Amino acid sequence: MIEITDQPIQVQSCMDAVQSERAGAVDVFIGTVRNHNKNKEVIRLEFEAFDAMAVKKMKELAEEASRRWPVEKIAIVHRKGILEIGDIAVVIAVATPHRKDAFDACRWVIDTLKEVVPIWKKEMYENGEEWLEAHP
């Protein structure tokens, strides 16, 4: 299950997607929208994605994670559009035989997703907005 969606992400469906009788561990990372960043009060976020390339890159992350760790199944789902405080922006679920690999693979996937997948986050404040990471 690798997708970009403009609908609320259902965590349970991500967990169901990685269900495996060979797995003794499922690690789930849930990225949520927080109400502040660098001392600014955030009122909502907007995510924009280059959908086709983002899905392609997310599939490559899943393949690379499966080369590095004994991954049974993996789900990566990222939301786009307008999100309110507390909404789920991204879910990564990784099933492996043992827990250490699930933690390690899940962490690597979210860290690498943030570096390479073409998705952009705009924070909106009371008095303005800003694309994150754009400027030094």
Partner 1 sequence: MELTIHLYGITRDIIGGSKKSVQLPEGARVQDLLEQIRKDYPSLAELKSLLVAVNEEYAEADVVLTERDEVALIPPVSGG
Which of 22, 34, 56, 100 forms a contact with partner 1 (CB under 8 A)?
56
Which one of 13, 35, 100, 131 is in contact with partner 1 (CB under 8 A)?
A: 131
94 binds partner 1 (CB under 8 A): no
Q: What tokens does 95 get?
A: 């099933």
Q: Which of residues 15-44 bind partner 1 (CB under 8 A)?
A: 31
Residue 97 or residue 103: which is nearer to partner 1 going by CB?
103
Q: What are the b/e assignments for 60-91, b being 16+ CB within 10 Å?
A: ebbeebbeebebbbbbbbbbbeebeeebbbbb
Task: Tell me the H-state helices in 39-136.
Answer: 51-68, 99-116
Torsions phi, psi of 86, nearest 5? 90, -15
Number of chain residues interacting with partner 1 (CB under 8 A): 29
Verify binding: residue 116, partner 1, rule CB under 8 A. Answer: yes
Q: Which residues bind partner 1 (CB under 8 A)?
A: 31, 47-50, 52-54, 56, 78, 89-90, 110, 113-122, 131-136
